[in-house]
Amino acid sequence: MQKNTPKIVNAWCMYDWANSVHALVIVSSIFPVYFSAVALSASGTPETTFFGVSIKSSVLFSYTVSVSFLITALIIPLCTAIADFTGRKKLFMKFFCYLGAISCMLLFFFTKQTLTFSVIIFALSLIGWSGSIVFYDSYLPEIATEDHYDQYSARGFSMGYFGSVLLMLFNLSMILFPSVYGITDKAMPARISFFTVGVWWIVFAQIPFRYLPSGKKGNFPDTNWVFKGFRELKKVYKNLQAQPYLAKFLTAFFIYTMGLRTVMYVATIFGATELKLPSQSLIITVLLIQLVGIAGSFLFAWLSGQIGNVYALMIGVVIWIGVCTGAYYTTEAMEFYVIACIVGLVMGGLQSLSRATYAKLIPENTPDSASYFSFYDVTEKFAIVIGTFIYGMIDQVTGSMRNSILALLVIFVLGLILLYRIPSQKVYRYGLNSSEN
């Protein structure tokens, strides 16, 4: 297949457009606000009962994210290995896409009476979203040459931001002006928003599903996919040992992603629970983050071209350290909004650049790109598991999410130190080219 084909590249980017509504509406804005409003005790305190156990609602949210990504991390390596051997990468991508989208639709039935069921459905939506992203990411080395990784990765993230904002504006109009739509139930606009996420996701996913290749089928006589899958992962792991720069990058990526993704999942809960900010203000703030994130994706792509991937990533992590420091001392709404804008600037840029950097470091023309990217995505998933668990545990033990923020601050500092260990600024395949520093 010819690389850098505009039609295929644009179709690949459209999956960011399709699935990013989950990250915005379900993960970052409307669902966390709705969750905080519903998951209350009879006396109105932020506590709820889950399978007969009384638990703080913010802790339940964090633990749900942890368990979801733990499940994903355990099943994805097997799925990606099978996809490499059978050439059914797109089939697996479709399965996880539809799992996530249908789960979003089912969140329409989320009420106080269905909280336990809805938490499980929320977890399934996370599994579907994160599982499909593994196969989506693995297409990048197949459809693009290395010199376009940063550009296409940033384009995908920016399209995701823009598309999700469009749907968010519609959902926000329902929340702010329900009477225009003939809605009288205060909870109904949020529940309809969850349903629209699933519809949007499925409809626009048909574009990449039509144009992306199905995948290359491996020529292996043994049909025992289960054991071959684990043997393939073992082979990839050994290959990583022989590529020290890739191993160092993955270690640093694991640490700073632990903090970055945790902030993404709990920021709205923090604003609603700790700062008592109005629901509408929180949702509008997250919308602003998305708009700033579009510029941030291209800013970091440009920055990497000027000073190299590693230095650009280090700058992003330094900004995150400042974000955590500021969040710990935040008490006013305006302070929260300023920090949110800074988060938007570095959130997408750091994710986009991390994906592009990894794509540059994996072996060129590898026949098992899905397995390589499973390592990347599983690394990310375990980072989310540990990060959100630490955040929730500290919140549960100390009773304050501000103490959890201190833990994230330490995590980002460690990530910065690990990035500094990579002895170059410009990343190229098979290593780092110090001659162009």
The full set of domains in the chain, from first to last, is 6-211+236-436 (1.20.1250.20)
**More confidently predicted of 104 and 73:** 104
- Residue 406 has a pLDDT of 92
Cα–Cα distance measured from residue 77 to residue 143, given in angstroms and rounded to the nearest whole number? 22
pLDDT at 42 over 80: no
Burial 85-114 (b: 16+ CB within 10 A, else e): bbebbbebbbbbbbbbbbbbbbbbebeeee
- Residue 226 has a pLDDT of 58
pLDDT at 51 over 50: yes
pLDDT at 373 over 80: no
pTM, two decimals, is: 0.80
- Residue 415 has a pLDDT of 93
Helix (H, G, I), strand (E, B) or coil at 220: coil
Using an 8 Å Cβ cutoff, are 348 and 293 in contact? Answer: yes
pLDDT at 240 over 70: yes
- As a whole number, mean pLDDT of residues 290-306 equals 80
Cα–Cα distance measured from residue 370 to residue 137, given in angstroms and rounded to the nearest whole number? 8
- Residue 190 has a pLDDT of 94
Q: Tell me 57's DSSP state.
A: H
Task: Give 107's pLDDT tier (boundaries 50, 70, 90).
Answer: very high
Helices 89-106 + 57-86 axis angle, to 10: 160
Quick one: tokens of 58?
A: 């913010």
- As a whole number, mean pLDDT of residues 407-427 equals 82
- Residue 431 has a pLDDT of 44
Q: Picking from 121-125, 128-132, 251-255, 270-274, which range would have the lowest pLDDT averaged per residue?
A: 270-274
**More confidently predicted of 327 and 94:** 94
Instruction: Give first-to-last CA distance, the chain, whole Å.
Output: 33
pLDDT at 427 over 60: no
Task: Give 18's pLDDT tier (boundaries 50, 70, 90).
Answer: very high
pLDDT at 434 over 50: no
- As a whole number, mean pLDDT of residues 236-263 equals 86
CA distances in angstroms from 405 to 106, 135, 227, 365, 402, listed in the order given: 32, 32, 41, 41, 5
Please name which of 190, 176, 223, 207 lies closest in space to residue 93, comparing C-alpha atoms: 207
**More confidently predicted of 298 and 35:** 35
Mean pLDDT of the chain: 84
Tens-place pLDDT, residues 379-402:
888 898 999 899 899 988 988 888
Task: Give 423's pLDDT tier (boundaries 50, 70, 90).
Answer: low
Burial 283-304 (b: 16+ CB within 10 A, else e): bbbbbebbebbbebbbbbbebb
- As a whole number, mean pLDDT of residues 22-40 equals 88
pLDDT at 8 over 90: yes
pLDDT at 369 over 70: no
- Residue 1 has a pLDDT of 64
Task: Give 219's pLDDT tier (boundaries 50, 70, 90).
Answer: low
- Residue 433 has a pLDDT of 45
- As a whole number, mean pLDDT of residues 405-412 equals 93
- As a whole number, mean pLDDT of residues 245-252 equals 87
- As a whole number, mean pLDDT of residues 71-84 equals 80
Parallel/antiparallel/unpaired status of strands 47-50 and 53-56: antiparallel
pLDDT at 222 over 70: no
Tens-place pLDDT, residues 147-184:
888 788 878 878 887 888 899 889 989 998 999 999 99
- Residue 283 has a pLDDT of 77
pLDDT at 48 over 70: yes
Name the β-bridge partners of 49.
54
Task: Give 64's pLDDT tier (boundaries 50, 70, 90).
Answer: very high
- Residue 432 has a pLDDT of 44
